[in-house]
Amino acid sequence: MTAEVQPVARPPFDAELRAGLAVVGGMFPPTITPDLIDFMRVSYAAPPIEDLLVAKGIVCTDDVVVAPDGHEVAVSVLRPKDAPGERPGVVYAHSGGLMFGDRFSGIDLVLDWVSDFGAVLVTVEYRLAPEHPHPYPFDDMYAALEAAASRAGDWGLRRDRLVVAGASAGGGLAAGLALAARDRDGPVLRGQVLDYPMLDDRGTTASTHQFDGIGVWDRVSNETGWTALLGDARGTEAVSEYAAPARARDLSGLPPAFIDVGAAEIFRDEAIAYADGIWRAGGDAELHVWSGAFHACDIFAAHTSVGRAMIRARNDWVERIIAD
Amino acid sequence: MQELLGRIARLDPSASLGLRVIACFDELMVGNVNTRALLAAAASLAGCVAGFHSETPAKTVRIDPRGHHAADVRPEVDPAFQQDASDGLTVWLERNGERQPNDAIVLERLALAVRMRHGRGRESDHRRDLSLLLDAEVDVQARCVSAITLGLRPGTRYRVVCAPLFAVWPEHPQGPEDVVATRFGAIHALVLPASAHEVAAVPSGVGVATEVEDLHHSFRTALVALRLCDPPAVGSVLADDFGGLIGLLADAPDGSFQPDVALVDAVMAYPWGAETLSSVVRSHSLRQAAREAGVHHSTMQSRLETVNATLGFDPFEGYGRTRLGTAYLVWRLRHSRVLDLPAPTATPRGS
């Protein structure tokens, strides 16, 4: 018997990113328990974006779409001010663990696609757990996707060049949208951008257990998020694949996927498994696993070498899919 | 990251952003990152372009807050936002307008980090005064000079308070403070008058009171006290409560052979183990331990029979008390999670 606590073996954080954690930890603690949800709703609320939109030459129009239960979901349609006519469209699901954040959280990176590639971005105020468990967040997102197709003319979108995108919890929602659009003969998608997506409610991967109490979004935070979304059903066979796409049995017939994830975060293994599942099913996926990267380090520390490389690789892929 | 610093300040107006800037650059220096990475961090923290110029070889680097290169032409820079890093090495922030609260500390840390990266000044000790003061290896005269520089008076007694960077400070006492590198990572250290027995910070450890030349000892006891915290139940620990024992704990090597700790481990394996030992070490009898734990004395009696059998000694008899008490504290230190787990506020403040 030993009285020593064995340290967990895990890949190290990149030095620039470790420095970034000294700042990030002050507003986004590694371990988020249910009693911190209110704190995170304040801490992770997006800052005002008006100045940024002006600087990037982007016009923002607010609208609503109607969810299956009649709820009016707020959306913002962001387009380049000097690009008339119908433009490629991106339906975007924001990050925030399904419990916090708003449709402008982490948006600056996605705005590059509007300013640089002339895309029209539809970003969605989906309802948040635990007040609104599954299927509300997913249904809100799907309503926005259907509206992007059915109201393409109003919003100035090209129906034939639509992609879904999302980060973290939003990445999981975007993956769910691609599955549902396939299953329901919904809008035809040209691509799905899944940034360090939250795909698996079971929490059984090796990477989930490597980052406890460290970095951004640890095992406990993930349990908090999934429990908020699924309640007692978390981890059981009752969980829908639209809520937790890692549970999908059939990954064929999906649009090309771009998946990126950090080597030093809990979602590493589920992201790799999802890309692998798409390949096995004969699909198209591009997977990037970034050495030394903690969860969402491109949002929190875009200035770092790893952050820049992540953004560049993603933007190259998006440009290939959507640019004229 | 400037925007993140702003969020932290809005969440907690008393938060020391300067400490976070210092910790950020400390990590960059430990990581031995290049000039571009240092400039990118400075630009990101300040929210404006950060620049570097070396005379030989002649080179200018300018990096924007997103980490991208700006044109490598050296602009006119307000001398107030420029600092010599070393002979022939200059760094600056391209701030147009008012000085921002963190500009001075960002520029100072950037200059230091660039100097180190370029191999200048590796000969001498560039640690700041508080780090020198708290290091027993540093010559006592040098420590006294550091103390005086920090405004501490020789012959007066002080205490060192230790906290993680993530600690929550409902109120922030005034005293010399800094981020100090320890083998547990960067620790926030603060020096307070000896009369300060309690601080509100969670988690935090308050060291024993000493004169300035022994503050390294106060620091070590504060670090042990901090590691004994277990928030929310135990938010702050005062080293004085453990008298001379805490000095022994501070001196005990990490991996030292402690057979009694292995025995405590065996007791802790029982679902009732932690609660029972915590009650026993604070009690003088079985009945008092039962009251402390809030269980019937017959329950405590049967648990104690198991404890005695597992330990091989009676924790209420003679040296048994000392053995259990000491092993229990070492066990807590070895299982301490207080430095891994930050303790943010459960409810947002200032919002």
Same domain, B188 and B295: no
pLDDT in tens, B183-239: 888 888 999 999 998 888 889 999 999 999 999 999 999 999 999 998 888 899 999
Same domain, B136 and B246: yes
Instruction: Please check whether residue B349 lies inside any domain of the structure.
Output: no
Contact between residue A106 and residue A50 where contact means Cβ atoms under 8 Å apart: no
Q: Extract the tokens encoding B337.
A: 């999670």
Q: Is A226 exposed, middle or buried (0-12, 13-18, 19+ CB in 10 A)?
A: buried
Same domain, B110 and B133: no
Same domain, B225 and B162: yes
Task: Please indicate whether, in this complex, the C-beta atoms of A36 and B44 are within 8 angstroms of each other.
Answer: no
Instruction: Please check whether residue A9 lies inside any domain of the structure.
Output: no
| Residue in A with minimal Cα distance to B266 | A1
Contact between residue B229 and residue B166 where contact means Cβ atoms under 8 Å apart: no
How confident is the model at residue A1, as a pLDDT? 39
Q: Extract the tokens encoding A206.
A: 């090796």
**Average pLDDT of the residues in B81-106:** 90
Interface of B with A in 97-136 (CB under 8 A): none
Task: Please indicate whether, in this complex, the C-beta atoms of B165 and A22 are within 8 angstroms of each other.
Answer: yes
User: In Å, how far is B37's CA from the nearest CA of chain A?
Assistant: 7
Instruction: Please check whether residue B78 lies inside any domain of the structure.
Output: yes
Query: In terms of residue numbers, what domain contains B177?
Result: 129-251
Instruction: Please check whether residue A117 lies inside any domain of the structure.
Output: yes
How confident is the model at residue B343, as a pLDDT? 39
Contact between residue B236 and residue B205 where contact means Cβ atoms under 8 Å apart: yes
Same domain, B65 and B153: no
Listed in sequence order, the residues at least 6 apart from A204 whose beta carbon sits closer than 8 Å to its beta carbon are none
A34 reaches B (C-beta below 8 A): no
Decide which of B14 and B228 is more confident. B228
A291 reaches B (C-beta below 8 A): no
Task: Please indicate whether, in this complex, the C-beta atoms of B8 and A213 are within 8 angstroms of each other.
Answer: no
Residues A220 and B337: their CA atoms lie apart, in Å, by: 14
Instruction: Please check whether residue B183 lies inside any domain of the structure.
Output: yes
> Is the model's pLDDT at A108 over the cut of 80?
yes
Mean pLDDT of chain A: 95
Same domain, B242 and B302: no
Decide which of B98 and A247 is more confident. A247
Which string of DSSP letters, residue by residue, matches A180-246? HHHHTT---EEEEEEES----TT--SHHHHH-SSSSSS-HHHHHHHHHHHHGGGTTSTT--TTT-GG
If one counts every other C-beta atom within 10 angstroms of the C-beta of residue B82, the result is: 16
Q: Extract the tokens encoding A57.
A: 């030459």
Residue B47: C-alpha distances to residues A106, A134, B39 (Å): 17, 39, 11
Same domain, B135 and B52: no
How confident is the model at residue B17, as a pLDDT? 86
DSSP, res B128: -
**Average pLDDT of the residues in A170-193:** 98
Of the candidates B37, B66, B346, the beta carbon closest to that of A16 is on: B37
Residue A84: C-alpha distances to residues A90, A91, A119, B156, B252 (Å): 16, 19, 11, 74, 72
> Is the model's pLDDT at B341 over the cut of 80?
no
Position B121 confidence tier, pLDDT thresholds 50, 70, 90: low
Residues of B in contact with A308 (CB under 8 A): 66-68
Residues B169 and A297: their CA atoms lie apart, in Å, by: 27
Task: Please indicate whether, in this complex, the C-beta atoms of A15 and B32 are within 8 angstroms of each other.
Answer: yes
Residue after which a domain boundary falls, among B216, B251, B286: B251
Same domain, B174 and B212: yes
| Residue in B with minimal Cα distance to A220 | B341
The listed range with the strongest mean pLDDT (A6-10, A117-121, B116-120, B147-151) is: A117-121
Residue after which a domain boundary falls, among B117, B148, B173: B117
What whole-number percentage of chain A has pLDDT above 90? 91
Domains identified in chain B, total number: 3
What whole-number percentage of chain A has pLDDT above 70? 98
**Average pLDDT of the residues in B271-288:** 93
Decide which of A84 and A268 is more confident. A268
Position A209 confidence tier, pLDDT thresholds 50, 70, 90: very high
B140 reaches A (C-beta below 8 A): no
pLDDT in tens, B21-60: 988 998 898 888 999 999 999 999 999 999 999 998 899 9
Instruction: Please check whether residue B146 lies inside any domain of the structure.
Output: yes
Contact between residue B149 and residue B229 where contact means Cβ atoms under 8 Å apart: no
Residues B322 and B324: their CA atoms lie apart, in Å, by: 6
Same domain, B195 and B269: no
Of the candidates B7, B28, B335, the beta carbon closest to that of A27 is on: B7
Instruction: Please check whether residue A105 lies inside any domain of the structure.
Output: yes
Q: What residue has token string 């409902």?
A: B170
**Average pLDDT of the residues in A93-98:** 97
How confident is the model at residue B268, as a pLDDT? 95
Position A245 confidence tier, pLDDT thresholds 50, 70, 90: very high
The enclosing H or E element of B178 equals: strand B177-182
- Helical axes B297-311 vs B319-334, angle rounded to 10°: 80
- The CATH code of the domain that includes A224 is 3.40.50.1820
Interface of B with A in 255-274 (CB under 8 A): 255, 258, 261-262, 264-266
Instruction: Please check whether residue A23 lies inside any domain of the structure.
Output: no
Strands (E), chain A: 58-66, 72-80, 87-93, 120-124, 157-167, 189-195, 257-262, 285-290
Instruction: Please check whether residue B160 lies inside any domain of the structure.
Output: yes
Position B345 confidence tier, pLDDT thresholds 50, 70, 90: very low
Task: Please indicate whether, in this complex, the C-beta atoms of B68 and A308 are within 8 angstroms of each other.
Answer: yes
| Residue in B with minimal Cα distance to A4 | B334
Same domain, B222 and B321: no
Domains identified in chain A, total number: 1
Listed in sequence order, the residues at least 6 apart from A293 whose beta carbon sits closer than 8 Å to its beta carbon are A13, A14, A17, A261, A262, A263, A264, A265, A306, A310
The radius of gyration of chain A's CA atoms, rounded to the nearest angstrom, is 19
Instruction: Please check whether residue B344 lies inside any domain of the structure.
Output: no
Residue after which a domain boundary falls, among B95, B117, B139: B117
Task: Please indicate whether, in this complex, the C-beta atoms of A18 and B27 are within 8 angstroms of each other.
Answer: yes
Of the candidates A15, A27, A42, the beta carbon closest to that of B31 is on: A15
Same domain, B65 and B111: yes
> Is the model's pLDDT at A5 over the cut of 60?
no
User: In Å, how far is B309's CA from the nearest CA of chain A?
Assistant: 17
Task: Please indicate whether, in this complex, the C-beta atoms of B266 and A3 are within 8 angstroms of each other.
Answer: no
Task: Please indicate whether, in this complex, the C-beta atoms of B341 and A30 are within 8 angstroms of each other.
Answer: yes
B230 reaches A (C-beta below 8 A): no
Q: Extract the tokens encoding B241.
A: 């409560």
| Residue in A with minimal Cα distance to B2 | A23
Instruction: Please check whether residue A137 lies inside any domain of the structure.
Output: yes
Q: What residue has token string 């992007």?
A: A148
Residues forming beta bridges with residue B52, ordered by sequence position: B61, B91
How confident is the model at residue B165, as a pLDDT? 79
Q: What residue has token string 């030992």?
A: B277
Instruction: Please check whether residue A311 lies inside any domain of the structure.
Output: yes
Residues of A in contact with B25 (CB under 8 A): 19
Instruction: Please check whether residue A20 lies inside any domain of the structure.
Output: no
Q: ipTM greater than 0.95, yes or no?
A: no
Listed in sequence order, the residues at least 6 apart from B277 whose beta carbon sits closer than 8 Å to its beta carbon are B264, B267, B268, B307, B324, B328
Query: In terms of residue numbers, what domain contains A85?
Result: 28-322
A15 reaches B (C-beta below 8 A): yes
Contact between residue B344 and residue A33 where contact means Cβ atoms under 8 Å apart: no
Q: Extract the tokens encoding A111.
A: 């705005």
Task: Please indicate whether, in this complex, the C-beta atoms of B258 and A27 are within 8 angstroms of each other.
Answer: no
Listed in sequence order, the residues at least 6 apart from A58 whose beta carbon sits closer than 8 Å to its beta carbon are A78, A79, A80, A81, A111, A114, A115
Residues of A in contact with B261 (CB under 8 A): 3
> Is the model's pLDDT at A106 over the cut of 90?
yes
CA terminus-to-terminus distance, chain B: 20
Strand order in B82-86's β-sheet?
A: B69-70, B59-63, B50-54, B89-93, B82-86
Position B173 confidence tier, pLDDT thresholds 50, 70, 90: confident
B14 reaches A (C-beta below 8 A): no
A300 reaches B (C-beta below 8 A): yes
Same domain, B207 and B288: no
How confident is the model at residue A210, as a pLDDT? 94
